[in-house]
Amino acid sequence: MTSLRRSFLVFLLLAAIRQANADELSGRVVGVADGDTITLLDGSNRQHKIRLSGIDAPENSQPFGRASKRALSDCAFGKYATVLTEKTDRYGRQIGLVQVDGVDCNLRQLDLGLAWHYKRYAHERPLTETRVYCDAELLARKARVGLWADGKATAPWEWRKRHG
């Protein structure tokens, strides 16, 4: 099964699971801050900062940070997106599953080896999503794609501890 088709099927499944508890936002992606944060402009011209759920991407100053940001830009920037969001983080960003043209951008970052599955919050997400995201990271690691080509890749949460 192609990655695009798998992403679409996974998004449909996850959307069905989350729909009961999630708020849905839609609009154009007008900004990409890094590999796991976008700005969405809705139909009322309100901006929403969205932190992609289930993943943690390298910081911009970290190795592969620019590549991760570029990949998320390729997936979402300037495009119409639907976001399923359930909560807000301590920085005021909504945490969400971002879908563009049938592609789960969160999962795509994992498939490309440009983010870690953020296991710290896995208990807050549907089990099906957790399994899919975990498997995607494992496949990228085995294939040594993206940041997994670097045997010394440092997880963003470790990087933030060391670099403030």
Weakly modelled stretches of the chain, pLDDT under 70: 1-21, 121-126
Q: What pLDDT is stored for residue 118 in this prediction? A: 85
Do 114 and 58 touch, CB atoms closer than 8 A? yes
Task: Give the HSE-up count for residue 104: Cα atoms under 13 Å, Cβ half-sphere.
Answer: 26
3-163: CATH topology: OB fold (Dihydrolipoamide Acetyltransferase, E2P) (2.40.50)
What residues are annotated to the active site? 51, 59, 93
Q: What pLDDT is stored for residue 2 in this prediction? A: 63
Q: What pLDDT is stored for residue 76 in this prediction? A: 98
Do 109 and 52 touch, CB atoms closer than 8 A? yes
Do 133 and 107 touch, CB atoms closer than 8 A? yes
Query: Closest Cα partner for 97 from 113, 63, 78, 121?
Result: 121
Number of other residues whose CB lies within 10 A of the CB of residue 161: 10
Q: What pLDDT is stored for residue 86 in this prediction? A: 85
Distance of alpha carbon 51 from alpha carbon 33, whole angstroms: 10
What's at 62, amino acid-wise?
Answer: Q
Q: What pLDDT is stored for residue 109 in this prediction? A: 98
Strand-pair partners of 34:
37
Q: What pLDDT is stored for residue 68 in this prediction? A: 98
Q: What pLDDT is stored for residue 127 in this prediction? A: 77
